[in-house]
Amino acid sequence: MTVYEISGQPHLAKQSLAEMDPNQLSPLTPEVISRQATINIGIIGHVAHGKSTVVKCLSGAATGRFKSEKDRNMTIKLGYANAKIFECDNDKCPRPRRFRSAGPSKEDVFPCDRPRCGGQFRLVRHVSFVDCPGQNSLMATMLNGTAVMDAALLLIAANDTCPQPQTSEHLAAISIMNLNSILVLQNKIDLVKEVQAKEQYQQIIDFLKGTNAEGAPIIQISAILKYNIEVICEYVIRKIPVPLRDFTSKPRLIVIRSFDINKPGTKVDDLKGGVAGGSIVKGILKIDQEIEVRPGIVSKDNEGRLQCCPLLSKIVSLYAEQNDLAFAVPGGLIGVGTKIDPTLCRADRLVGQVLGEVGALPEIYTKIQIIYFLLRRLVGVRTEGDKKGAKVAKLTKNEMLMVNIGSLCTGGRVLAIKDNLAKIQLTSPACVEVSEKIALSRRVNYDFRLIGWGEFRRGTVIKPQVEIPTT
């Protein structure tokens, strides 16, 4: 194994592959959190309640635009940012101002700004805020229970109504998220009178009662005034448990972006390989590592038979935000520079594929057999009048559905149904493990609506081809 050391961003901790020992790594390892996020925090809440402003505050993000969301029919600008969280090393420095946050490029140690403190802010956490409607994190968390999201911030605007107290049926619900920590942020506290704030505060407590988020801290903040932002930092450190990570398994990354970075007119010999970006589910990716991307390129031969050619390549670079990495662990979104033919990566072509160690990825399936369970009615329906209309009808043969399997999404055609089993032909091959959880959705009123859950039992495997086609 070549010794590889990172030379970019000299103000950050060095990373050396030779010295990296997966058994010694944790989401708190200094040379890791110096350069990348290791804890994913999802934000649930209405954009009008100030999600973007909160994230901006915490990450000090000047880059990255946070536009207001528009109608779902249009491209929605996303809030995504990483933040480093610091604590002053002077014990006498009072809370909450002994905590601070900054962006991912900030140096790991810098002087405390409290007059005459003499202490230094030291890097304690590096978190990634995932504020993306429908970003697979929420779906994947529900399906896999795996820590794509380690914690959640529930954002409620003080000048809006609180969610109603839950029925007993809902009480057990939040526990399924496997989220050990939820922080509630009561934002826009500057816009309401104290009485109103207190009332809503109590309502929030009632809402969480009986769930494992009971007793979750409720922090009153004003993102726009940067009020109490340090308290969020404090709670991130004190209340969010360090997630258990699997660093020793063979690595796996779910691709959410891919591109060709070459300048037009570049000679063939000078072409840089394609880049894939996504989130690492488990394990560690390293520079120089041999990797495979599945299903790879899907094509049909002359007789119409489906073929998959997984892409075999090597990692030439790794990065998170603006920081170079020698190795990458789960957390945030990681960019992987490869030697893959860049035209195969152009325009997000690899989205939904899986990247990992050669020979260590699951099989590729074109048809699946699942066990499934339909909801009685569509979710979110509350009024009596709507209830009947929202009944979920049985699956019918040849019906087309949206199928979410683990972190992937594809279409599925219902081939046959028997009791609570179904055979589904996928519209594009999927690289998934047996017993992965599944979500089924049907087009209702022009939207795909959740109609059921399932589990992948077995299916028709497509054996990969070795040669890679030229287009």
Of residues 371-390, which lie at the interface with other proteins (CB under 8 A)? 373-376, 378-382
287 binds other proteins (CB under 8 A): no
Using CB under 8 A as the criterion, what x/- string covers residues 49-68 for binding other proteins? x-------------xxx-x-
Q: Report if residue 251 touches other proteins, rule: CB under 8 A.
A: no
Buried-exposed string 241-274: b where 16+ CB fall within 10 A, e elsewhere: eebebbbeeebbbbbbebbbeeeeeeeeeebbbb
- Restricted to residues 113-152, the positions that interact with other proteins (CB under 8 A) are 130-136, 138-139, 142
Quick check: 400 binds other proteins (CB under 8 A)?
yes
11 binds other proteins (CB under 8 A): no
Task: Judge contact between 67 and 47, C-beta under 8 A.
Answer: no
Residue closer to other proteins by CB (options 170, 209) is 170
Size of site (CB under 8 A) for other proteins: 133
DSSP state of 29: -
- Tell me: does residue 191 bind other proteins (CB under 8 A): no
Q: Is 465 near other proteins (CB under 8 A)? A: no
Stretch that binds other proteins, among 20-28, 94-102, 188-196, 425-433 (CB under 8 A): 425-433
- Is residue 434 a contact residue for other proteins (CB under 8 A)? no
Of 42 and 330, the one with the shorter C-beta distance to other proteins is 42
Q: How many CB atoms lie within 10 A of CB 193?
A: 9
The residue from 26, 29, 90, 166 that contacts other proteins (CB under 8 A) is 166
Those residues whose C-beta lies under 8 Å from the C-beta of residue 195, and which sit 6 or more positions away, are none
Q: In sequence order, what are the beta bridge partners of 369?
A: 423, 458
Among 210, 277, 331, 337, binds other proteins (CB under 8 A): 277
Question: According to the binding rule CB under 8 A, does residue 263 interact with other proteins?
Answer: yes
Cβ 179 to other proteins shortest distance, Å: 11
Q: Using the rule CB under 8 A, is 457 a contact of other proteins?
A: no
Q: Which residues pair with 186 in a beta bridge?
A: 156, 220
Exposed, middle or buried, 18 (CB in 10 Å: 0-12/13-18/19+)?
exposed
Per CB under 8 A, the list member of 97, 122, 239, 257 interacting with other proteins is 257
**Strands of 364-374's sheet in order across:** 408-418, 421-431, 364-374, 447-461, 437-444
Do residues 325 and 16 lie in contact, with contact meaning Cβ atoms separated by under 8 Å? Answer: no
String of contacts with other proteins for each residue 200-229, x by CB under 8 A: -------x----------------------
Q: Of 117 and 197, which CB lies nearer to other proteins in the complex structure?
A: 197
Name the minimum Å distance from CB 215 to other proteins. 18
With helix as H, strand as E and coil as C, how does 277-346 read? Answer: EEEEEECCEECCCEEEEEEEEEEECCCCCEEEEEEEEEEEEEEECCEEECEECCCCCEEEEECCCHHHCH
Q: Which residue has tokens 């991307």? A: 293
Q: Which residue has the tokens 């990566």?
A: 345
